[in-house]
Amino acid sequence: MQDDWKKTQQFARVDLRTVYTSTWRQVVVPKEWPEDLRPILESFLANPEKWNSAEARRAYGGMVVYGSPRFYVAVDGKLAFTDVGLNGWTYGVAPKLKELVGV
């Protein structure tokens, strides 16, 4: 999925960043994130129920914090959208990116 997307005009218009942590539980630890991305994580953690789609809650059960992979869409440094899993990319993130940056 990502390799094909990287060949698109849309990808050229997006600043893709990836956060890697040594364990899956550390993905929600702000100090594990680059400093400039921490406000995005903190927005998500302040109210994860707000940011999780009904589909994600059904797929992962309840409030999804550790679902993987999780995709965050930020605009001007602020969290605008997030979803989890490959279905989250296909049915959530991809349409949101199309809305925001086109192509």
pLDDT score for 100:
96
pLDDT band at 1 (very low <50, low <70, confident <90, very high): low
pLDDT score for 30:
95
Q: What is the DSSP string of 18-80?
A: ----SSGGGGG-GGGS-GGGHHHHHHHHHSHHHHS-HHHHHHH-SS-SS-SSEEEEEETTEEE
Beta carbons within 10 angstroms of residue 36's beta carbon: 9
pLDDT greater than 80 at residue 76: yes
pLDDT digits (tens, 9 = 90+) for 15-66: 999 999 988 889 999 999 999 999 999 999 999 888 888 888 888 777 688 8
- The residue ranges of every structural domain in the chain are 2-101
Note whether 84 and 56 are within 8 A (CB).
yes
pLDDT score for 83:
92
pLDDT score for 97:
95
